[in-house]
Structure formats: structure tokens, C-alpha cells
Chain A
Amino acid sequence: MSVLVYTESDKGILKKAALEAASYGKAIADAMGTSLIAITFKVSDASKLGNYGVDKVLNIESIDEFNAFIYADAIKQAVEKENSTLIVLSSSADSKYIAPLLAIGLNAGYVPNVVETPSNLNPFTVKRTAFTNKAYCNTEILTAVKIVGVSNNSFGLIENTGAAQIEAFSPILAESSTSVTSVDKANDKVTIADAEVVVSAGRGLKGPENWKMIEELADVLGAATACSKPVSDLGWRPHSEHVGQTGNL
């Protein structure tokens, strides 16, 4: 028995959401009296995970680009190798892409958008957001293997003093007929998914040319920029900045 956490990275560096997922996984592993294992893909700073309670890291070097099917297959093999009964992921776009595939592969119950550690381990009960953050739903997972998606910025980072043992992991992977042909991403901006502070503006700014002050303020605060639905509909700002029911939460 163990808890396994998928710790996501960008260009080989662990994301903040990965450290939060590890912190969350450590809290449950302690409650279950078991160890916490992390799986990483081509990460250069994996030892850092020890500071967030990870006992062992399985690092995969053989996969070059993100592919949800291949990642889900690799995580499934890690779960089977480590006899994990609980898998923790973040609420990033990639984690939410992987988790349902993994749930079917492992016959596991999956609860996303979880905001607290379990209120009960048996039956395993977690609190998640629902109705676009207008409510919480206490949800039981009924299966032997369980998957939890932690809502970003809900649990926080909890530092530990342990050291993680790093092990190379080489799962046997099938080919995929889906491949990434290009990525268009601003590397110097804080994303809404990772942000602790968001500066949001609406149509009152009169036009896209006035967004410079929002961007400057966000820059000073280390915040992400966001906008209302009409602003995104008008094309003043990209849809990825739209916060709300049909945008990002």
C-alpha cells in the first residue's frame, strides 16, 4: 500500500501545483500510515520533493513530450509497481486530461476539484467544489483504488524535512496516434491555474489598449491577469483569461 502523486513539471522544473499535490499526498499518507511516492517526467530538481514529504521519486527520462495517453499509461504502471491505492494529481489542464484515462485504466473512482484532506478514510470521503464554486459536495469513493484531483491553491505548500530517494523508472509504453505539433505559450506570465493573486478587469476599461495598466499591476504583484466574459467575447483578451462558468474557474 502507498500513496502515489503525479508531480507535474514545465521544462524539467517542478510546478508549484506539483509541490501542493505532494503536500496533500503527504498529509493523507501520514493518516493512512504509509509512504508517499512521486512520479515525475524528465525532472531535474526531483530531490526538492523530499522537502514536501515525498519518500521516493520515480523519474522517467524516456518520454520527451506531453501525451495524456502515454502519461496515463506510465502512471498506471507506477501504481501497479508500487501497489498504490491512492493517486493524487493537481487540477492543472494536463492533470485533468490524464486523470479520467487513468481512472478507466485502473478501475478507480476519481474525484476532481478536492479542497480538503479526507474527512474520513473509511468510507473515503472528500469535499469537492461543484456548481461552479457555488457549492461543495462531500463525495465518497467506492473503489479499492482511488484518484483525487486537488484544487489548486486550496491546500497550500507544507514543508517537511525528509529526503527523497530518486529511482529511474522505465515503463513499457505503446505508441500513440496523437502527437503535439506546436505549443504556443507565454513563458514569462503567471497562469491563472498557478496564481495566488489575480488582477481581473471588465468592459469598464473601454478597450484592449487600456489593459497595459492591468498587466503592469499584475506584474508588480506577481499576479495573473483575468477578464470577464464580455471582454473575452469581444476579443479584447484571450479566452484563456476568461474567468467564470464557461471560462476558467
Chain B
Amino acid sequence: MKILVCISHVPDTTSKINFSDSGSKFDSNGVQYVINPNDEFGLTRAMWFKEKQNASIDVISVGGSETETTLRKALAIGADTAIRVNASTPDGLSVAKHLADVAKKGSYDLIITGRESIDYNGGMVPGMLAAILNANFVTNCISLEIEGTIATAVREIDGGKETLSTLLPLVIGAQKGLVEESDLRIPNMRGIMMARKKPLTVVNPESNNSATKSVSFEKPASRGDVKLVKADNIDELINLLHNEAKVI
């Protein structure tokens, strides 16, 4: 089984979000970048398929040379080869098209992306990629088993979950639950050393289409301080729930 795991290079979950150039650009000063957490859940599941079902894993990212540190980390976790599409990405459609150009040539059985990146939260890349490739697609995926060309996937729905039967080739949008936090792998020294020798191929973009444009950014108004009510002060709690939160 050939697996492609799509990796997004995103600000660390604890990053302070600021904008520069009069609110038109994300300010990356002092920001640490990581593998998008949803992608990392997917990569970890791909490692399971590698170890149990002899799958091969390519990882791919679309972006500038700065994304290579993130791809090297994915190689250190255990992916076999890495591909970087050397392109800027104005929107999710452009990312999906660049990924599809590479995926078409690779004849992958399974393509794993995160269900969304934690920067733009668009959640559109996996579905667009599947639609371009005419592949089957399951997003919000919290369980995936594959036997031959048949896949059984569980999708988180509002208020529950749904089990689906589908066929390869398949694109999934991974999220927490596909593996647990405790299953995530921290690269060891051997993995880091081996990652340096694994191939990382840079390819030039074949298309340059986008459908939307981010014009400007703004930050929401401060939400104010959290109010703590002492356990024995029921009157105050009732007062706040009734007069301020207006829920009773």
C-alpha cells in the first residue's frame, strides 16, 4: 500500500497571533512552527499501516524552504521520502491543486491529510483533493482499517459517530481519535540521523490557481476576565447566570 501524508507547516498551538503590514500579513516573528496536529495524528496512523501492513509513506508539503524542517521531522518519525512543492499558497484550493498534481503521478492508495490546519481552519483541502482526484473521501476520521482495497472508516458527526464502508483510492481528513495523543511519536536520535539521509525532493508547481484572497486580518475584542465564584456563594452564581449570562 502506497500512502501519501500531507503535512501543513503551522504555528505552534501556543503561538501569539499577530499581524504586520497594517493587518495584511501574519507576523511570523518569534513563532515556532510544527507539524499541524491533525496531520500528525494521520502520520501516526500511517506508521501503523507501515509497521503492520508493510505500507510505504511519502510525506508532502506545499510551501517555501522553511517548511523543510517540518518535513524532516516527519521523516524522523518514520516516513520514507518527502516532497516539497515550492509554491506559495493563497488559499486551500491552491494547496489542493498542488497536492493533486503530485498525487496523480504517485498512484497512491491512501492519502491522509489533517481534517483542517490549525492556522486557517478551512477544512477544505482534503475534500477538494479527493474531488480533483475522483477518489473516495472521509473527513473527521477517527478510525480507519484497510483490508485489500476495502476501507472501513469512522467519522465524527455532530453528536455522535458514523461508520462508513468505502474503497481505495481514498482520501481521509484525520483528527484526534484516529490515534490518541499518547500514541504520537517523538523522534529519537536514530530517527533524526536517518532522516538526514532520506530523500527530500523539491518540485516546481504545475498550476497556480486560487479562488479566494485573504485581504486583511483583525483580532477579536478581548473576552474579559474569567469570573470565579466561591463554592459556598450560590447567590452570586445564580445572580451571574441570570443577569449576566442570561441562561436561567
Could you list some 22 contacts between A and B, CB below 8 A?
A97-B139, A103-B131, A109-B211, A111-B212, A112-B123, A125-B215, A130-B217, A133-B220, A135-B19, A135-B218, A138-B215, A138-B217, A140-B212, A177-B136, A178-B138, A179-B164, A181-B165, A191-B159, A232-B176, A233-B180, A239-B177, A240-B156
Q: Are A68 and B210 in contact (CB under 8 A)?
A: no
A182 within 8 A of B: yes
B192 within 8 A of A: no
A213 within 8 A of B: no
Of B60-68, B69-77, B79-87, B114-122, which stretch is located at the interface?
B114-122
Contacts A109-B211, A137-B214, A182-B162 given; does A239 touch B156 at CB 8 Å: yes
Contacts A93-B158, A132-B121, A246-B176 given; does A101 touch B130 at CB 8 Å: yes
Q: Are A136 and B218 in contact (CB under 8 A)?
A: yes
Q: What 0/1 readout, one digit per residue, does chain A (178-192) give for beta carbons within 8 Å of chain B? A: 111111111001011
Return chain A residues, CB-CB under 8 Å to B161: 183-185, 240
Which chain A residue shows the least CB distance to B223? Answer: A133
Extra contacts, 4 of them, besides A239-B177, A246-B38 (Cβ < 8 A), are A100-B126, A131-B119, A133-B220, A138-B216
A194 within 8 A of B: yes
Name the interface size band of chain B.
Answer: 35 or more
Secondary structure of the A side of the interface? mixed
Q: Are A177 and B167 in contact (CB under 8 A)?
A: yes
Complex: A239 Cα to B179 Cα, angstroms: 11
Q: Are A221 and B215 in contact (CB under 8 A)?
A: no
A141 within 8 A of B: yes
Interface residue ranges, A against B (CB under 8 Å):
66, 68-69, 92-94, 96-97, 99-101, 103-105, 107-113, 125, 129-143, 177-186, 189, 191-194, 197, 220-221, 223, 232-233, 239-240, 242, 245-247, 249
Q: Are B248 and A221 in contact (CB under 8 A)?
A: yes
Which chain B residue shows the least CB distance to A131? Answer: B17
Q: Are B136 and A143 in contact (CB under 8 A)?
A: no
Return chain A residues, CB-CB under 8 Å to B217: 130, 135-138
Contacts A101-B137, A186-B160 given; does A246 touch B212 at CB 8 Å: no
